[in-house]
């Protein structure tokens, strides 16, 4: 998977994405991250990439040409790829959209700053918008990094066995089960006995039951959408009796 990111802050993107499991995947070449700074494509010696908005009003707008040339350079570098503009007015990122992106070999992520980008750039070069939620942040970079992290985790070989197991719960449409580590007792609180029983089947059953119970308590909408088989329903019924809910 290759991500090309159009951003005024390439160092920010490379630094954040260079950590942890995704950073290791980039180092191993399983994920490719290339950044393109519109300022490098500016026509004037000041590196101008923005200007005042027509019609007046506060702030600045990103100019078409530097962005367009950065996008075209990204396309020329590694072939055609969808251009996705990170913006609150796009459809909201969810598991299906993450899966669809992970099926692509390449994607170009366009990060806006200032008050936004000239609409004509969107008309000329943007294939889709994508939101990570109904709020505005300072730029498209953090949303782009959320998208890249979530998508990269689905690329084969990026997650080790442990992490991919941890991700299974949500991939199953459920919230995560609780996690514990040493010491066995801390501040008078013990680890649930099943987790130290050595009975792997019982542990797996307990984890599924916890995920089902927590999903019902915290995100009943997910459970509604997912449905339950007979065994899961029985586990959830037992959880509700145990938790009195
Ligand atoms: C801002 C905005 C506000 C309300 C409705 C739609 C909107 N679009 C934008 C926009 O594209 N802003 C540019 C990119 C310039 C300001 C910083 N940008 C931005 C993108 N802030 N927040 C996002 C974003 C992207 C994806 N998901 C959530 C927020």
Is residue 153 flagged as an active site residue?
yes
Q: Confirm whether pTM is higher than 0.85.
A: yes
Could you give the percent of the chain with pLDDT greater than 70?
97
Contacting residues for 29 by C-beta, under 8 A, at least 6 apart: none
What is the per-residue burial (b if ≥16 Cβ within 10 Å, else e) of 92-121? Answer: ebeeebbeebbeeebbbbbbbbbebbbeeb
Is residue 115 flagged as an active site residue?
yes
**Residue-level pLDDT at 160:** 82
Given a contact cutoff of 8 angstroms between Cβ atoms, the answer to whether 73 and 137 are in contact is no
Give the pairing type, strands 106-110 and 185-186: unpaired
Instruction: Tell me which residue of 22, 19, 13 sits closest to 155, measured CA to CA.
Output: 22
Instruction: Tell me which residue of 217, 227, 222 sits closest to 95, measured CA to CA.
Output: 222
Decide whether any atom of ligand 1 lies within 6 Å of the 132 Cβ: yes
Residue in 106, 113, 153, 216 annotated catalytic: 153
User: What are the start-end ranges of the H helices in the chain?
Assistant: 10-17, 20-27, 64-78, 95-102, 119-125, 141-152, 161-171, 200-218, 220-226, 230-243
Instruction: Tell me which residue of 146, 139, 157 sits closest to 16, measured CA to CA.
Output: 146
Is residue 168 flagged as an active site residue?
yes
Structure confidence by residue, pLDDT tens digits, 188-225: 999 999 999 999 999 999 999 999 999 999 999 999 99
Structure confidence by residue, pLDDT tens digits, 66-87: 999 999 999 999 899 999 999 9
Structure confidence by residue, pLDDT tens digits, 105-130: 999 999 999 999 999 999 999 999 99
Q: Which of 28-32, 56-60, 172-176, 181-185 is the least confident region? A: 172-176
């Amino acid at each position: 998977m290759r991500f090309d990111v159009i951003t005024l802050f390439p160092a920010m993107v490379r630094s954040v994405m260079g950590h942890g499991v995704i950073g290791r995947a980039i180092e191993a070449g399983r994920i490719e991250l290339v950044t393109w700074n519109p300022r490098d494509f500016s026509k004037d010696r000041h590196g101008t990439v923005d200007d005042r908005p027509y019609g007046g009003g506060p702030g600045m707008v990103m100019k078409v040409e530097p962005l367009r040339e950065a996008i075209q350079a990204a396309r020329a570098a590694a072939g055609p790829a969808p251009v996705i503009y990170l913006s609150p007015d796009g459809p909201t990122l969810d598991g299906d959209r993450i899966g669809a992106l992970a099926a692509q070999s390449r994607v170009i992520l366009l990060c806006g700053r200032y008050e936004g980008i000239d609409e004509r750039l969107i008309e000329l070069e943007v294939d889709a918008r994508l939101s990570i939620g109904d709020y505005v942040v300072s730029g498209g970079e953090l949303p782009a990094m959320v998208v890249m992290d979530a998508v990269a985790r689905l690329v084969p070989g990026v997650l080790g066995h442990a992490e991919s197991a941890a991700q299974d719960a949500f991939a199953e449409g459920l919230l995560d089960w609780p996690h514990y580590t040493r010491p066995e007792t801390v501040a008078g609180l013990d680890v649930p006995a099943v987790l130290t029983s050595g009975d792997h089947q019982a542990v797996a059953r307990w984890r599924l039951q916890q995920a089902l119970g927590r999903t019902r308590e915290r995100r009943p909408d997910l459970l509604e959408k997912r449905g339950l088989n007979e065994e899961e329903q029985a586990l959830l019924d037992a959880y509700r009796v145990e938790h009195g809910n």
